């Protein structure tokens, strides 16, 4: 990898010949396969943008010309070309992030990895450059065809088309996929462009014709090919998509031909106006195992064998996602009204199994969470019970729709939030740590957090039976923990996992934190402190039995893997106060900070979410050495009361 070793900044690309650039592209692919197979990460998307990224950094002067990557999971090549070739700790604590990160490099502009936002960023930056007289700077946004299904993209395009005097280049990286194949009308249109026989035939004949004239002819062909609105695209009726937006269009361009991409990008620079450059790429390019993977072409992989692509990670326990996938099929068998909705995540959320058996009852709306939620409200009105399955971090994007379209209309819609809590290597934008705080402000909503597979099935069945309010089921990434049976269940559905003769501490465990709570209980018992452990199952609304149990304990502690601010613990404390219960509450959860990438265990450790740390604090609180202080023991309270009475009756001079 002699060429790759010599590349430490984008400017190192300038003197390379076409042959050297092509060799460099091959070296980068080998590097990606070797490194990402050891650490895991987004392999397929990056294999597809090697030539495109090289061309972008040759034509534009980053960071003088900001390059914005939509979602950012295809930024590995960008990182390599900007001097970051240490992939040994990719996505691990202290290592390189899997997405652009400003703290890593001045070349990284946008850190958020949520799709469809790049054009809005680009519109804002280009407008700022225009208003501050920075007319020599270009703004480049790289957006995938999957992100075109997001409404925010089209909102941005509407504004961009209103002002045609900015140096703004929009590169559509069209590989026909988001995770899975991109769906919808836009996808069909782009697919038509890629596959249209007239386009392919004209391209081939034109290339042969101009090739008869040698190098000058081939140069002329490339120039004509990249003409305004796409010279070749006129013969493919390709201009219709953008014509009404009044945005210049170039393409489609072979995304693996560095020379063709550079010609198109240089022509775009000369327009002095917003330009769309349509680039056709292949996800997983150059790596047969990725290209042959029908599911998602190695969109994201764990540790794999680089020669075969086989997964090197194994677990005997099923994943939360697989349990949900199986239960949805069971529910669909029993209830014809149940249907599934997802936003470009059919396989990652597990709905693909139901789709295989009941394809007419599963809808993939593309990267369009807002539409997914409101569409679900409409389906509920029409007599169905939709189950909307998304990652927990992405429900943030549709909060208004949950509030105003589902809850306000008392629609029976179930939301299943995968990857809730700390997700680990994907970093701040992918932690699903805000859902409990955000969603519990929605009137009449019911939130469930199962502690194991049995409870996931049980609570999902209960959720789809509710037709007059939104329901939520949330669970983390990874394997399901062992089943944890309750000693009893209260009349209002709270599972009591353990009780002690001395009612010192009431531990309220949210979902899979129940296992940690049981460990905390054991540690407290070693110190002579009795603890009751309960799993509310449905954490919102707070069950009356929890209020009554809190009344009889000296202190209450909630343990959750969401943020403490506005979390379940806060809700419990409010309910206790409303009921006149003065038992102190300690809310254990995540800080309201953007948490960096690391393993789930490392993040929990760094935020104090360990049984050892929690038990140590509780011991101090029970002993009255730390706030919040536990209520005194009954005998201590009696002694204090007697002492106070005696003091009050003592004659004073």
Catalytic residues: 283, 369, 397
Question: Which is nearest to 369 in space by CA: 348, 345, 352?
Answer: 345
DSSP bridge partners of 386: 339
Structure tokens at 496: 């009591």
DSSP bridge partners of 506: 532, 556
Side-chain half-sphere of 80: how many Cα atoms within 13 Å? 29
Q: What is the DSSP track for 420-487? A: BB---TT-TTT-B-SHHHHHTTSTT-EEE--SSHHHHHHHHHHHTT--SS-EEEE--SSBPPPP---S
- Which one-letter DSSP state was computed for residue 543? P
Structure tokens at 166: 């900015």
216 sits in which H/E element: helix 214-225
**Between the CA of residue 534 and those of 174, 497, 508, 539, 559, what are the distances in Å?**
50, 5, 5, 11, 11
Helices (H), 544-599: 544-551, 568-578
Question: Which is nearest to 384 in space by CA: 329, 340, 429, 447?
Answer: 340
- Which one-letter DSSP state was computed for residue 406? I
Q: What is the DSSP track for 186-202? A: HHHHHHHHHH-HHHHHH
Largest Cα span, the chain: 120
Contact 99, 111 (CB under 8 A): yes
Cβ neighbours, 10 Å, residue 161: 14
């Amino acid at each position: 990898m002699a060429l790759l070793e010599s590349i430490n900044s984008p400017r190192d690309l300038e003197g390379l010949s076409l042959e050297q650039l092509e060799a460099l592209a091959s070296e980068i692919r080998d590097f990606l396969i070797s490194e990402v197979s050891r650490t895991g990460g987004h392999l397929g998307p990056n294999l597809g943008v090697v030539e495109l990224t090289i061309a972008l950094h040759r034509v534009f002067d980053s960071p003088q010309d900001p390059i914005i990557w939509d979602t950012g999971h295809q930024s590995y090549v960008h990182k390599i070309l900007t001097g970051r070739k240490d992939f040994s700790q990719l996505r691990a604590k202290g290592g390189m992030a899997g997405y652009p990160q400003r703290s890593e490099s001045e070349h990284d502009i946008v850190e958020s990895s949520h799709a469809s936002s790049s054009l809005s960023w680009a519109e804002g930056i280009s407008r700022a450059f225009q208003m501050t007289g920075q007319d020599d700077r270009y703004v480049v946004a790289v957006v995938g065809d999957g992100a075109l299904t997001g409404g925010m993209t089209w909102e941005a395009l509407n504004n961009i088309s209103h002002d045609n005097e900015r140096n703004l280049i929009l590169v559509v990286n069209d590989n026909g996929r988001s995770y899975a194949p991109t769906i919808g009308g836009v996808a069909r249109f782009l697919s038509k462009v890629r596959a249209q026989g007239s386009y392919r035939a004209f391209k081939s004949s034109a290339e042969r014709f101009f090739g008869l004239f040698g190098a000058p002819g081939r140069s002329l062909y490339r120039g004509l090919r990249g003409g305004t609105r796409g010279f070749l695209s006129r013969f493919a009726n390709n201009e219709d998509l953008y014509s009404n937006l009044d945005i210049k269009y170039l393409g489609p361009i072979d995304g693996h031909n560095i020379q063709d991409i550079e010609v198109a990008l240089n022509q775009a620079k000369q327009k002095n106006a917003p330009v769309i450059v349509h680039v056709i790429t292949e996800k997983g390019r150059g790596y047969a195992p990725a290209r042959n993977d029908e599911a998602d072409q190695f969109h994201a992989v764990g540790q794999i064998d680089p020669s075969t692509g086989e997964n090197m990670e194994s677990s005997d326990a099923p994943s939360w996602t697989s349990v949900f996938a199986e239960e949805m099929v069971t529910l669909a068998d029993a209830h014809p009204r149940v249907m599934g909705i997802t936003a470009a995540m059919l396989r990652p959320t597990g709905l693909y199994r139901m789709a295989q058996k009941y394809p007419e009852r599963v809808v993939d709306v593309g990267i369009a969470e807002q539409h997914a939620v409101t569409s679900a409200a409409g389906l509920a009105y029409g007599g169905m019970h939709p189950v909307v399955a998304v990652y927990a971090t992405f429900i943030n994007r549709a909060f208004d729709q949950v509030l105003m379209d589902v809850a306000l209309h008392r629609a029976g819609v179930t939301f299943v939030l995968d990857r809730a809590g700390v997700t680990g290597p994907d970093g701040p934008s992918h932690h699903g740590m805000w859902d409990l705080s955000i969603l519990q402000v929605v009137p009449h909503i019911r939130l469930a957090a199962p502690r194991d597979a049995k409870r996931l099935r049980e609570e999902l069945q209960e959720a789809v039976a509710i037709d007059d309010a939104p329901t939520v089921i949330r669970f983390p990434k990874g394997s399901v923990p062992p089943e944890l049976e309750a000693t009893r269940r209260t009349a209002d559905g709270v599972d009591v996992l353990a009780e002690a003769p001395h009612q010192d501490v009431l531990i309220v465990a949210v979902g899979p934190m129940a296992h940690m709570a049981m460990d905390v209980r054991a540690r407290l018992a070693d110190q002579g402190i009795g603890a009751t452990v309960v799993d509310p199952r449905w954490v919102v609304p707070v069950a009356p039995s929890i209020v009554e149990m809190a009344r009889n304990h000296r202190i209450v502690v909630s343990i959750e893997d969401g943020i403490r601010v506005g979390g379940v613990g806060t809700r419990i404390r409010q309910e206790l106060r409303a009921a006149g219960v003065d038992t102190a509450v300690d809310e254990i959860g995540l800080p309201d900070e953007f948490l960096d990438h690391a393993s789930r265990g490392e993040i929990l450790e760094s935020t104090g979410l360990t049984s050892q740390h929690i038990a140590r604090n509780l011991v101090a609180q029970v002993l009255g050495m730390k706030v919040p202080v536990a209520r005194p023991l009954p005998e201590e309270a009696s002694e204090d009361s007697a002492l106070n009475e005696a003091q009050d009756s003592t004659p004073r001079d």
